[in-house]
Amino acid sequence: MDIKGYFSILWAFVVRDWQRRWSYKLNFIAMLLYPIVWVSVFGVLGRTIDDAGGTGVPGGFSTFMVTGIITWRFIRVGFFDSSWSIRWEQHIGTFKNIYMLPNHLMVPISATALSGFTVSMLNFVEMWLVAELVFGISLNLTLPSFLFLVLAWLSVIGFGFAIAGIAILYKEIQAVFTVIFFSFQFFCGVFFPVDALPRSAQYVSRVIPITYALNGIRYSITHGYIPTTDLIVMPIAGLIGLAIGLVTLQLCLKKALKEGKLERY
Amino acid sequence: MVIKVKNLRKEFNGTHAVDGISFEVKQGEVFGLLGPNGAGKTTTVKIMATMLLPDGGTAEIGGYDVVKHPQKVRGIVDVITARDKFYRRLNAYQNMSFFSRLYGVDDWKDKMENYGGRLGLEKEDYQKRLGDYSTGMRQKLNLVRNLIRNTPILFLDEPTLGLDPVSSRKFRGLLKEIMDREEKTVVFTSHNMYEVEELCERIAILNRGRITSVGEPGALKKRIFPKRLVEFRYMEDGLPDIDDPAIDKIEKEGRYIRVYLEDGRRLHDIIEKIMSIGRITDLSVKEPTLEEAFIRHTEDEERSDEKVTAWI
Ligand SMILES: Nc1ncnc2c1ncn2[C@@H]1O[C@H](COP(=O)(O)OP(=O)(O)OP(=O)(O)O)[C@@H](O)[C@H]1O
Ligand SMILES: [Mg+2]
């Protein structure tokens, strides 16, 4: 399939998803308000701590918190969206129509993930504006630091694909991954520096790419550049994550096709 | 042959859902898979539609092997079932625009209104959310979705399930019209013999994962259930004097005489003989429906539990 064909399919998913979101009016408003509320809560919390003497985190704790929450919101959609969407599609019974196309199933799955990316982007812009305009926290957003953020997104999207595959076989699996993902909030330094964790927990932090993503983004804000370690780790983590995701998805699809679990019309 | 299925097998934890079936379907032919619940119809269709991997045997659709070239197969095949769904929160236009983009069809709106109109959908219906559609309306829109995509090969897996008899008949009428006009190659599954008899040019009877017979509906009825029954009112006492090697037995009940024929092909000769006796009224010939044929056939099979091999 050619690029034009792919964009046409991608566009179909983006339009469909936004139409569906818009059909739930209150949810739609909530979806727009959430990120603003989040940034505000953590912005004020950070500022209170700063006013009380701070924590010694470079750039101040309010900046630390706000970058943490913005990065987190940006990547969490990538982690959940493709798997959730596939399960949902199987559940409501439209999966068959998406499957019966002359494309690899990766085409609709990736289109779904990219459609989710538009939500990430919207939330990101909202939070960024609130941070800059309301809290006066400048994120010094440069193209390299934004690309770095996208890499972070890619590193989790791979896991998103893996969950999507496993979710085809085992419905309940998403709950497990939800728990795992939220434990990342603890390990990766979303709301507090990794240094504040016990030594043993810090070993766990080191193997999760999100830790490097957060560290890199924060560094680029306070120092104007991204540390070399993070610059090297992120693309590798992104590629490995994507590879693991694609292989897992492939294996799960094969198993589902054998067991008759792909499509239960 | 557009569809070639050879010795197809699929097992689910010990259940032989499909147990070595073979059949072929010609270009433009409407082929029926008839069988009771659990016979393996859906399993067969799913394998042919690349939704399920077979354990053994092969299926070739339009020259493409379903296991080796699944994407090619999906490019020429579409499946319609009674359980096909749309996005409930979106209206028909929004739904169709989504699917048409996936299919790469640009003039979907004209097509939708055109086909939909012929199926009895009104323009106002398209503004309604699919969640507010009745089962019948949704199934019409489902057919419209397929017509917009327009694949040369179509699998219909019990598409009228859940429709009331009137809607079901209408739906079959539309299918027939489309099949006649578009020269599509169709595999139609059902446990409703009437439906299959009405639509299909050739039928395979499937039971417990095996094809027990294949043929055109008429021939199938004759082969499985060759007997005919001629019934008439006879004004004389006693039995009429008719003699023919094709007659199995003659019965009398009140004024009614029943003549059972062993061989339905001799029907015309026998009727002539009966008419020549005189003093006869209310003559009727009872033909077995495919339903009777089908029930007898599967019952026989279950009773003897013999393996009946397909004769193709
Ligand atoms: N995914 C599956 N896992 C386990 N068993 C299955 C699966 N799919 C089908 N079967 C079994 O295979 C057999 C054939 O099922 P199939 O759905 O093909 O029958 P069918 O002819 O379509 O019946 P119906 O008229 O009820 O739709 C049944 O015994 C069924 O329980
Ligand atoms: Mg079935």
Model pLDDT for residues A113-150, shown as the tens digit of each residue? 889 889 888 988 999 899 889 888 887 778 888 888 88
Contact B89 A9 (CB under 8 A): no
Tell me the pLDDT band of A59, cut-offs 50, 70 and 90.
confident
Q: Which of A3, A253, A265 best tests the B interface by mutation, with the highest count of B CBs <10 A?
A: A265
Q: Assess contact for B196 and B290: CB atoms under 8 A.
A: yes
Choose between B73 and B241: higher pLDDT.
Answer: B73
Give me the helices (H) in chain B, please: 41-48, 70-76, 92-103, 108-119, 135-149, 165-182, 193-199, 217-224, 267-277, 290-304
Shortest-distance atom of ligand 1 to CA B36? 25
Q: Is B153's pLDDT higher than 70?
A: yes
Q: For tokens 């810090």, what's the residue?
A: A202
The residues with which B153 forms a beta bridge, in sequence order, are B77, B185
Laid out side by side, the sheet with B153-157 consists of B77-81, B153-157, B185-190, B30-34, B202-207, B210-215
Summarize pLDDT for A169-216 with one digit per residue, the tens.
887 777 888 888 889 889 999 988 998 899 999 999 998 888 998 998
How far is residue A110 from each of residues A116, A122, B190, measured CA to CA in Å? Answer: 10, 19, 36
Closest-approach residue (CA) in chain B for A8: B101
Helical packing angle, A61-92 and A143-169, nearest 10°: 40
A188-197, A212-221, B140-149, B265-274: least confident range = B265-274
Helical packing angle, A209-222 and A228-259, nearest 10°: 150
Instruction: Say what the pTM is.
Output: 0.83
Query: Which chain B residues contact residue A9 at CB under 8 A?
Result: 101-102
Give me the helices (H) in chain A, please: 3-23, 25-51, 61-92, 95-99, 106-133, 143-169, 173-187, 199-207, 209-222, 228-259
Q: What is the pLDDT of residue B48?
A: 97
Tell me the pLDDT band of B194, cut-offs 50, 70 and 90.
confident
Q: What is the pLDDT of residue A152?
A: 84
Shortest-distance atom of ligand 1 to CA B44? 18
> Residue whose CA is closest, atom 12 of ligand 1?
B17
Choose between B111 and A55: higher pLDDT.
Answer: B111
Closest-approach residue (CA) in chain B for A4: B104
Q: What is the pLDDT of residue B302?
A: 57
> Residue whose CA is closest, atom 31 of ligand 1?
B38
The CB-side HSE value for A157 (13 A sphere, CA atoms) comes to 23
Q: Is B29's pLDDT higher than 60?
A: yes
Choose between B268 and B76: higher pLDDT.
Answer: B76
Q: Is B186's pLDDT higher than 90?
A: yes
The tokens describing B164, both together, are 């009331």
Q: What is the pLDDT of residue B223?
A: 67
With vertex at residue A100, the alpha carbon angle to CA A264 and CA B28, rounded to the nearest 5 degrees, is 110
Summarize pLDDT for A83-110 with one digit per residue, the tens.
778 888 888 889 999 999 999 888 988 8
Indicate the residue type of B252: K
Q: What is the pLDDT of residue B86?
A: 96
Tell me the pLDDT band of B270, cut-offs 50, 70 and 90.
confident
- Give yes or no for B158 touching A (CB within 8 A): no
Tell me the pLDDT band of B308, cut-offs 50, 70 and 90.
very low
Q: Following DSSP, what letter does each residue of A62-84 receive, concatenated?
A: HHHHHHHHHHHHHHHHHHHHHHH
Summarize pLDDT for A63-90 with one digit per residue, the tens.
888 889 988 888 887 777 777 788 888 8
> Residue whose CA is closest, atom 28 of ligand 1?
B38
Query: Looking at chain A from residue 84 to 123, which residues have their Cβ under 8 Å from any Cβ of chain B?
Result: 92-94, 96-104, 108
Summarize pLDDT for A20-57 with one digit per residue, the tens.
999 999 999 999 999 999 899 998 998 899 888 877 88
Distance CA A20, CA B87 (A): 8
Q: Is B132's pLDDT higher than 80?
A: yes
- Give yes or no for A147 touching B (CB within 8 A): no
Mean pLDDT for B105-119 is: 91
CB atoms within 10 A of CB A12: 21
Q: What is the pLDDT of residue B300?
A: 58
Mean pLDDT for B157-167 is: 85
Q: Following DSSP, what letter does each residue of B58-124 receive, concatenated?
A: EEEETTEETTT-HHHHHHHEEEEETT----TTSBHHHHHHHHHHHHT-S-HHHHHHHHHHHHT--GG
Mean pLDDT for A245-252 is: 92
Mean pLDDT for B150-161 is: 93
Query: Which chain A residues contact residue B99 at CB under 8 A?
Result: 97
CA end-to-end span of chain A = 27
- Give me the interface pTM, i.e. the ipTM: 0.88
Q: Is B120's pLDDT higher than 50?
A: yes
Q: What is the pLDDT of residue A179?
A: 87
Shortest-distance atom of ligand 1 to CA B46? 18
Q: Is B55's pLDDT higher than 90?
A: yes
How far is residue A37 from each of residues A34, A134, B250, measured CA to CA in Å? Answer: 5, 12, 90
- Closest ligand to C-alpha of residue B79 is 2
